[in-house]
Structure 1
Amino acid sequence: MKLSFCIIAKNEAHQLGECLQTVGKLVDEMIVVDTGSRDGTPEVAKNMGARVYEFSWCDDFASARNAGLKYVTGDWVLVLDADERLMEGIIPQIRGLINQEDYLLINLVRQEIGAVQSPYSLVSRLFRNHPDLYFSRPYHALVDDSVMEILRREPQWRIGSIPEIAIAHYGYSADAIAEKNKQQRACEAMESYLKQHPDDPYLASKLGALYVQLGKLSAGIDLLEKGLKQASGIEGGTMYELHYHLGIAYSKRGQLEVAEAQYQKAIAVNVFPQLKIGAYNNLGNLLKGRGNLKAALWAYETTIEIDPLFSLGYYNLGMTLRAMGNSQKAIASYQKAISLNPHYGEAYQNLGAALLGIGNIPDSLKAFQTAISVYEQTNPPEAKRLKKTLSEMGWRL
């Protein structure tokens, strides 16, 4: 089977080459749709062997992606963004699945680099080059709507998924979001689409979550609750997102029992375990805050069972163990979090406190000094506060 790669890009010269390099060993052709670059993006693409086409940007990601689909010649299509990388280890599985005759779409697990609480998502980026398959929605463009229509007419097809991480996404760091003003663009695009599609549970999950993130709790809760009422028969990912973001919203509103119930419902949804890490972690935070340390311990332990590289899980586990009086295990958990994330200021600081609690003054001082050093790069006010606290204790730094 011939596999085509398709991407839209604007002013991505600094990272497009690396993206294309990760797919070069897998795909048979690369199509780049440039939406108005001024930084040499087309030249980078051409130098990597891609064919480049121009598209006049119209504030609609689906239209831009569909423009690219017109130029693909392969039997299958892989779609990424410039801030995404294909994991090399997933290539054999992709090759094996696209050679099977009955798959229409293969969902891929994406690791959200910098998204601390929800480090994984499931994306529909690998699909057969079917004449009736296309992207819809101006923001969060996806092929799922057309896939469902095709399946209703042609039930011989099936949808598959690869549970291992296939894509690394670097677009969710605070700097990247601020640079591209993603939140404002997302709001405007989704609100416009909502006027035309008021009964769309997927849109409710995305826009409702954004409202909650922006502090518009009432609007977010209303939209997410409406999405649940519309959600009969929808795929698991959207159902999970609705419950998960309602948990966040009710937690911010102080309705902790309601929030806990929403996280429990999110955990019960039938999706890949990696996608549930955010719900387990937030549930643990609620349980710990309410004094149910044993249940919180279970929730945090579940996050690291699912993903042994989840540094936040080890940090939260350390905080809970310390609250339970188990300093030695707490220290080990902090150290594991630090080994996974050497720039984890909070882990160093709490490691220092735990070491101080068992009388290990030299190692405690080293941990506090490292915490200050990290904070000076990432959180200067916290570095100043910690210095003052230690100075008041009579420590010389």
Structure 2
Amino acid sequence: MSISLCMIVKNEETTLPKCLNSVKDFVDEMVVLDTGSSDRTPEIAQQFGAEVHHFQWTNNFSTARNAALKYVTGDWVLVLDADEILNPSIVPQLQDAMQSDEYILINLIRQEIGAVQSPYSLVSRLFRNHPEIRFERPYHALVDDSVATIIQKEPHWQVGYLQGVAILHTGYQKRAIAQNNKYIKAQAAMLEFLATHPNDPYVCSKLGALYVETGKLSQGVELLLRGLKQASGRSSQDWVTANQSAENYEILYELHYHLGIAYNHLKQPQPALEHYQAAIKLPIYPMLKLGAYNNLGNLLKDAGDLNNAKKAYETALKIDPDFATGYYNLGMTLKALNLFTDAIACYQKAIKLNPYYAEAYQNLGVVQLKVGNLQASLTAFKNAILLHEQQQNIAEAKRLHQGLYEMGLIK
């Protein structure tokens, strides 16, 4: 059972080595399609033993990915981007799943490292080298539609899901987005698709979320509501056969989730609350709901409903016990409830998971001071100041230092 890595790249000399190093002992073949690099990306790929091909970029990710697929010879195809790495702990599960005779596609959990929203996503990146599998949609290229069509004709196939994080993705960090001009590329590709598919729920979800992220709230809400209307109303056979119910639920989740974010930005907490609650009720993989539970907790906490906020954060942490932001938010809620000992434990857990969590150190200092642990408080505050300075949050570092000075805690 052979497996091929299939990638499209452009100017990825910084991130590509980590990506290829993460898979070099797992895949039998590396196929890299370069779409116009001006740096050392092709040479780096060749140094790892990759077969490098060249392609003229057409502002359509699916076209490029399908061109790359033509060069693949393995029984299975693993698709990665240069800003992703394969989690080594998932490899035994991947190998077992590929041995199964019934799977044509295996969906993988991707962790969005450093993302402000949506810490996890489900991606269709591991599939058989089937002649009828192809990518569709111009930006968030998917094979799901073609796989659904194959399953209609060949019903012995199934779609599999693996538990545990398979792919670590750094591309949604703010610095990476800015450096790679990702928002502009995404918007251009999706607007072109939207012109010919104005009511497609998927593109409404993705482009609507992009508009919300970039502050175009009214445009984002309009698209998200349009997509929600279409996705909610399509119980007809054409929707089910083309997209499968699981994918429909995931799109519905994203539409509700991003509407929650949009209405929160618009200072409309009630519709935001309703959309987060609707998102949580959908029958999708629990880890994908993490963002909705966390944002729901934030909304309830801001409204003063501390007990229900606490429940939302606790549910998020049951889903992902390594969710540092969840521990921080739970700590903030416990602090507001005057449960200081429990709050301290939450901040300490958040810091253990993320040693660079300046805000967790800062609030740990506050609570330690409240319970009379002066030395522990000063240590936490000093760590917070240092981290704020390292992270270029100079104004907050100065404000915190001045506050400690005025309280007579430091000279």
> What band does the TM-score fall into relative to the shorter chain?
over 0.9
* Unaligned 5+ runs, structure 1: none
Query: Which of residues 368, 373, 398 in structure 2 aligns to 1:384?
Result: 398
Query: Which of residues 278, 281, 285 in structure 2 aligns to 1:272?
Result: 285
Count of aligned positions: 397
Query: Which of residues 257, 268, 288 in structure 2 aligns to 1:255?
Result: 268
Matching residue's letter, 2:155: P
Q: How does 1:193-272 map to 2 (within 5 A)?
A: 193-231=193-231, 232=234, 233=240, 234=245, 235=247, 236-272=249-285
Q: Partners of 1:252 and 1:16 in 2: how far apart?
A: 36
1:273-300 deviation line (CA, Å, top 9, x unaligned):
1111100000001111111111111111
Instruction: Measure how far apart 1:192 and its partner are.
Output: 1.4
Which residue in the other structure is 2:46 paired with?
46
**Equivalent position SS for 1:384:** helix
Matching residue's letter, 2:319: I
Q: Partners of 1:252 and 1:116 in 2: how far apart?
A: 14
Which residue in the other structure is 1:104 paired with?
104
1:110-154 deviation line (CA, Å, top 9, x unaligned):
011011432110000011111111111221111112222222333
Q: Partners of 1:286 and 1:58 in 2: how far apart?
A: 42
**Equivalent position SS for 2:186:** helix
Which residue in the other structure is 2:366 paired with?
353
Instruction: Measure how far apart 1:377 and its partner are.
Output: 1.5
Which residue in the other structure is 1:6 paired with?
6
Q: How does 1:131-142 map to 2 (within 5 A)?
A: 131-142=131-142
Matching residue's letter, 1:195: A
1:173 to 2:187 alignment = no
Matching residue's letter, 2:408: G
Instruction: Measure how far apart 1:195 and its partner are.
Output: 0.4
Which residue in the other structure is 2:329 paired with?
316
Matching residue's letter, 2:292: A
Which residue in the other structure is 2:409 paired with?
395
**Equivalent position SS for 2:26:** coil
> Would you identify which runs of 4 or more consecutive aligned residues in structure 1 move more than 4 Å?
none
Which residue in the other structure is 2:75 paired with?
75
Asked if 2 retains the 8 angstrom alpha-carbon contact of 1:11 and 1:40, the reply is yes
Q: Does 137-146 or 309-318 show the bigger shift?
A: 137-146
**Equivalent position SS for 1:230:** helix
**Equivalent position SS for 1:220:** helix
Q: How does 1:86-101 map to 2 (within 5 A)?
A: 86-101=86-101
Which residue in the other structure is 1:289 paired with?
302
Q: TM-score, normalised on structure 2?
A: 0.94
1:156-183 deviation line (CA, Å, top 9, x unaligned):
2211111211101111111101101111
Q: How does 1:300-311 map to 2 (within 5 A)?
A: 300-311=313-324
Q: TM-score, normalised on structure 1?
A: 0.97
* Percent identity of equivalent pairs: 58
Matching residue's letter, 2:24: G
1:57-112 deviation line (CA, Å, top 9, x unaligned):
12211111111100011121110001111111211211122222221111000011
Name the Cα RMSD after superposition.
1.3
Asked if 2 retains the 8 angstrom alpha-carbon contact of 1:301 and 1:317, the reply is yes
Asked if 2 retains the 8 angstrom alpha-carbon contact of 1:117 and 1:281, the reply is no
